[in-house]
């Protein structure tokens, strides 16, 4: 049987979870991104926030590489994409989430997360470019 503390904790958890999900970055699937990148009129910018070494081992064609740790320092360079669709990915999602927070808190209006990140891209056997 539930007591008042348990019910309060459950309600608090549900409210917190809802707030977190409401602020979650929209996502784009690998296939949708691949199709959009092949369209001639696309205005999508792909931002790979992994390390230079990871990027060199394989990345999505046309992706800009900028470590998640340097996104804030490079906002001036990224400002030209402020109103573009900016698709962000890393290896598994954590670093991309950090970069997305920096971008959205600095006025980027259309930040999108690549579903599955690079791990998902590779699992789907989609094309990569190596340096």
Cα–Cα distance between 64 and 45 in angstroms, integer? 8
Instruction: Catalogue the active-site residues.
Output: 90
Is residue 44 a contact partner of residue 37, using CB atoms and an 8 Å limit?
yes
Cα–Cα distance between 98 and 92 in angstroms, integer? 12
> Residue 88 has which token pair?
């962000």
Cα–Cα distance between 120 and 93 in angstroms, integer? 10
């Amino acid at each position: 049987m539930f007591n008042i503390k348990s019910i309060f904790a459950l309600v608090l958890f549900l409210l917190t979870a809802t707030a977190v999900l409401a602020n979650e970055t929209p996502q784009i699937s690998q296939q949708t991104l691949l199709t959009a990148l092949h369209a001639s009129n696309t205005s999508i910018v792909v931002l790979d926030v992994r390390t230079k070494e990871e990027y060199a081992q394989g990345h999505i064609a046309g992706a800009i590489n900028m470590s998640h740790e340097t996104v804030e320092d490079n906002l001036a360079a990224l400002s030209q994409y402020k109103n573009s669709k900016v698709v962000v990915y890393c290896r598994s999602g954590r670093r991309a989430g950090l970069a997305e927070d920096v971008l959205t808190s600095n006025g980027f209006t259309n930040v999108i997360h690549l579903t599955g990140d690079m791990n998902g891209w590779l699992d789907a056997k989609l094309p990569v470019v190596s340096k």
